[in-house]
Amino acid sequence: MFFSAKNPEPAIKALNLSKCYQLYQRPADRLKQYLWPNRWLGSRQYYRELRALHDINLMIMPGEVVGIVGQNGSGKSTLLQLVCGTLTPTQGEVLVNGRIAALLELGAGFNPEFTGRENVLMSAAIMGLSQSEIADRIEHIIDFSGVRDFIDQPVKTYSSGMYVRLAFSVAINVDPDILVIDEALSVGDGAFARKSFDRIMQMRDAGKTILFCSHSLFQVESLCARAIWINKGEIVLDGESAQVVSAYQTFLDKSATNSPLETPITNKPDPALNTKLVSGCARLETIKLQVNDTHTQHAVIFSGQTSIMMRVAFASDPSLPCPTVAMTLQTKDGRTITSAATWEDQFAVHRTAAGSGQISLRLDHLPLLKGEYFISIYLLCERGLHLYDAAEAIATLQVQQAGRLQGYFSIPHQWEDNTIIHHDQIS
């Protein structure tokens, strides 16, 4: 945990924080509850209660990067909205020390009748910037968003992408002390997606306090030193991110149904796509599974005997650092049982001056036990954090075996007989 000598006070402190919603079956019930409250009608009430958060106690110090994980409906977004002040608690309080910027519902506060410039001015003022600070930053905000040609048009005329880019640009350029991110690590596509991701990473490296909520456990573990698991409105675990992510993944695996994944997607086109590569991005071009010198997307292999080769071709913006490649092997119910990544193996990926590259991954004598498995391929940034492209369940492996061993893998092992037999016991 990070403690600042200049500012020993917590950046965020929640004390006995609870949030309860009143749910009405009909609009008329809301009026009845207002006109005839419970104190006049005994125990009668016209609503049912939904407790989104219950007695949360939380302290985040300046400079901490904290991940929030949990299933949909667990209370994660409610907690973030309480921290940002867009919701009021039913009980308890939240103390925030510093300027806060939130990437929740991007652009939710924009007035569609106002121009882009007017919305920038209004949003920046709401976030606490003075008039001089707004004047100093407005041109940079507009340039960052990439919508300068339309900045004096009403935002109701914007495309969804333009709308999101402008909202993100405002939130990320007000120089906040605390950044709250809810499933918005990068927005838009192409150059803007990469630029937004880099900006968030700069804030992390600069020691800003970041509260990051995501379903991507890989990103939570990669970006955050600490993680908090919330379930049914309560904190289940708060600790080192690797420990929390592991515990939460085990919980998800136990909760998983036995229904198989959707039919695997087909391979990407073998020829290079004719469309021009968008600036600031990278994409997977072809992915081929090779088994015994045969290319296939649906292989039948034998446990411990068959070797496979994954061949991956990609195209990337040559002005960006060379991307990295990762592979996951999953069961039918979606459990990732193993993975491999070039950055983890410190394997240098190379490409041509035009930005294209090819890479192969060989798996010798796969020790998988009987069953069906899916292979997925991912193309990420040079740090293995920002996802450019993904081909999930791009190939299937149907594994056959001799014998009755159970599980996913046959691990290397050796039996030893340590029984001592005396000669006088031998008949």
Would the pLDDT of 423 be above 80?
Answer: no
Q: How far apart are the first and last CA of the chain?
A: 69
CA pair distance 174, 195, nearest whole angstrom:
16
Q: How far apart are CA 239 and CA 225, in angstroms?
A: 9
Spatial CA neighbour of 376 closest among 344, 328, 314: 328
Q: Cα(303)–Cα(415) distance, rounded to whole angstroms?
A: 20
Q: Tell me, what DSSP letter sits at residue 339?
A: E
The pLDDT assigned to 273 comes to: 39
**Residue 158 pLDDT greater than 70, yes or no:** yes
Q: What is the pLDDT of residue 160?
A: 78
Q: Which of 125-129, 204-208, 243-247 has the lowest mean pLDDT?
A: 125-129
Q: What is the pLDDT of residues 48-57, one digit of tens each?
A: 778 889 999 9
Q: What percent of the chain has pLDDT over 90?
A: 53
- What's the pLDDT at 208? 92
Q: Where in the chain is the domain with CATH 2.70.50.60?
A: 282-400
Question: Could you give the residue range(s) of every CATH 3.40.50.300 domain in the chain?
Answer: 12-255
Pairing of strands 336-341, 324-331: antiparallel
Cα separation, 329 vs 396, in Å, equals 9
Instruction: Say which CATH superfamily domain 282-400 falls into.
Output: abc- transporter (atp binding component) like domain (2.70.50.60)
> What is the CB-side half-sphere exposure of residue 288 using CA atoms within 13 A?
15
Give yes or no for residue 404 having a pLDDT over 70: yes
Cα angle, residue 286 at apex, residues 280 and 288 outer, rounded to 5°: 145
Mean pLDDT, rounded, for 33-42: 61
Minimum mean pLDDT range among 160-164, 226-230, 277-281: 277-281
Tokens of 202: 């700069």
Smallest Cα–Cα separation from 226: which of 63, 52, 9, 14? 63
Instruction: Of 40-54, 157-171, 174-188, 387-401, give the range with the top mean pLDDT.
Output: 387-401
pLDDT above 70: residue 427: no
Work out the average pLDDT over 302-314: 95
Contact 356, 285 (CB under 8 A): yes
pLDDT, tens digit (0-9, with 9 covering 90-100), for 5-28: 455 789 999 999 999 887 777 887
The CATH class of the 12-255 domain is alpha beta
